[in-house]
Every structure is written in C-alpha cells, then in structure tokens.
Amino acid sequence: MNILITGGKGQLANSIMDLFKRRECSLGKVDEIYFHGQIFCVDKHHLDITSLEHVKSYFKKIKPGIVINTAAYTHVDDCESNIDLAYKINALGPRNLSIICEEIQAKLIHISTDYVFDGKSKIPYKEFDSPHPINIYGKSKYLGEEYVKQFCSKYFILRTSWLYGHKGKNFVKTILKASKEKEVLRVVNDQIGNPTYAEDLAYHILKLGPTKEYGIYHCTGNDSCSWYEFAKAILQYTNSNCKIQPTSSSDYKSVATRPNYSTLDHMMLRCTIGDKMRHWKVALEDFINNYERNVPLS
C-alpha cells in the first residue's frame, strides 16, 4: 500500500515522516502495514491539490491506498483578505482529494481545526456538536469537511488545535525566541484551547489509518489552558528568566475574530481506537527536552 502525505513542508507532515523513520514514539509503534509500500510526502510544487486534473493525474501515477491531507492555508488573519485562496486550498483541495480517493477507493485522512466552532460553549466540544465558524479560515475548513463527507466514503476527519512540532513555525518556538530577546512578554489569557504536540497527533493519525473506524475525530492535547498559561509553561520548562504577563485579546488588533473557547473533547477516540493523547503539559515538557538537545536555547 502506497501512502501519500500532502503539505510536505509543514510541521505535521514532518512529524509523520519522522515517525515513519523511527517506527515508534513514546506512545507506541507504527503499524507494519505502512512499510509494505512507498511513502510520498509532497508539497504544492509536486501536487497542486486545488487542481482536480492534477490530483487525478498524480494519483494515477502513484496509486495511493491512504492519503493524509495536512495541506492548508493556516494564516488566520490573511484568510480574511485572501478569501478565494483560502477556499481553494482549505475547501476545494479536500474536495478534489475526496473525489479521486473515492474513484480509486483510497482512504482519506483529512486534518481540520477547532476553528470550525464559534467558541460560545462552556464545555468541551464533542464531534457531534454543530460547527459554526466565525472567520474565513474556520468557514473554509468547515466547507472542506463537508466536501470530504460528501464525496468520500472512506474518510477520517481529525480536528486539532494549537499545533506545535520540531519543524516549521509555531507558538512554542515564537515564545522561546521572544524570551531570549525580551525581559517581559504579554500574552492573552482570554482564549482557551488545547495545545497539541504534532508527534502525538501523528501517532493517532497512523493508528487510525489501517482501521475502518471512519468518521470525525477530535485529537488534541488533553486538558485545556489559555495562551498565557501555555506560554507560562514553556518558560517554566526552559528555566527562562523572562517574565510573562496576562493581557486581553482586545489589547491586540487582529483582522480575524478568534473563538474564545475552542476546547475539544475526544469522545470518538475513546469509543474506537483509544485516547492516548497526553496531557498538554506532559507533551510540552517532552517536546522542550527534545528541542533543547537539538537547538540550544541560550
């Protein structure tokens, strides 16, 4: 079985590829089924998912059995002014992949977001809760989910949030860099969500792949926090002398409205393959320890 991963330069795709190389992580081993074929990890220069004809031609050539779509336009504020591009990548891209996956009866694992919700809930969102996105990014990702459900019969949709990994840009690296350049950092404390280590997400993606447990899943770090609490833990685990202060979202001018509360509940994982996602603090400490070995923080 050949495996295709889109969004090849992103942190999640890199985490999946790293897991393939090591064949295991702290959560467990990778299923042997993945090593019976070739693995193709491609970016937009190799595969334009916004072109149905390009997807069809590429799939005909490599014949994937499982497609993992990590490609997305994730610049939330930029999506507000680049609406067409956001919908092309986040909605039409998944549509095209779904159509061709159905033609060749391949499984599609599509990565979505907590931003499909409006943030008005007071308790963690379950998979059956009705989405109501409040910005273009969330709306385009939600339409992508709808296309996957409409055109593909063998799909897994995994919603995740606040993702960080060893490759690419993310909040953890931003805080680490800023803490070396400034004495005080101000971070918002009125947006609540789930920090997610890309390696933990990658493990669950690969655990779902060989199964027929199709449907929508929430897959994030367990328990929730504010961006301020997240940043505070980052500095704590690096023994930084930088001070951190809580502030309000209203103090920052952002183009796109963010949900104030986007915590996700892992009901589907618990009911099917099991929820081995770690508490976000445990996963973060593991990431920091590994990151320090490769990139000096001083």
Count other Cβ atoms within 10 Å, centred on residue 228: 19
CB count, 10 Å around CB of 251? 9
- Number of Cβ atoms within 10 Å of the Cβ of 257: 15
Fill in the amino acid letter for 207. Answer: K
Backbone angles phi, psi at 11, to 5 degrees: -70, -30
Cα distance between residue 8 and residue 17, in whole Å:
9
* Spatial separation of the C-alpha atoms in residues 115 and 117, rounded to whole Å: 5
Alpha-carbon 240 to chain mean position: 27
Taking the C-alpha atoms of residue 131 and residue 129, their distance in angstroms, rounded to an integer, is: 6
Residue with tokens 């009125």: 190
Report phi then psi at 228, rounded to 5.
-65, -45
List the catalytic residue out of 87, 125, 137, 203. 137
Of the candidates 102, 99, 133, 101, the one whose C-alpha atom is nearest the C-alpha of residue 116 is 133
Cα distance between residue 99 and residue 118, in whole Å: 29
Query: What is residue 60's three-state secondary structure?
Result: helix
Which of 243, 251, 236 minimizes the C-alpha distance to 179?
A: 243
Six token digits for residue 7: 């969004």
SS3 content of the chain, % helix, strand, coil (to 5): 45, 20, 35
Could you confirm whether 137 is annotated as catalytic?
yes
Catalytic residues: 137
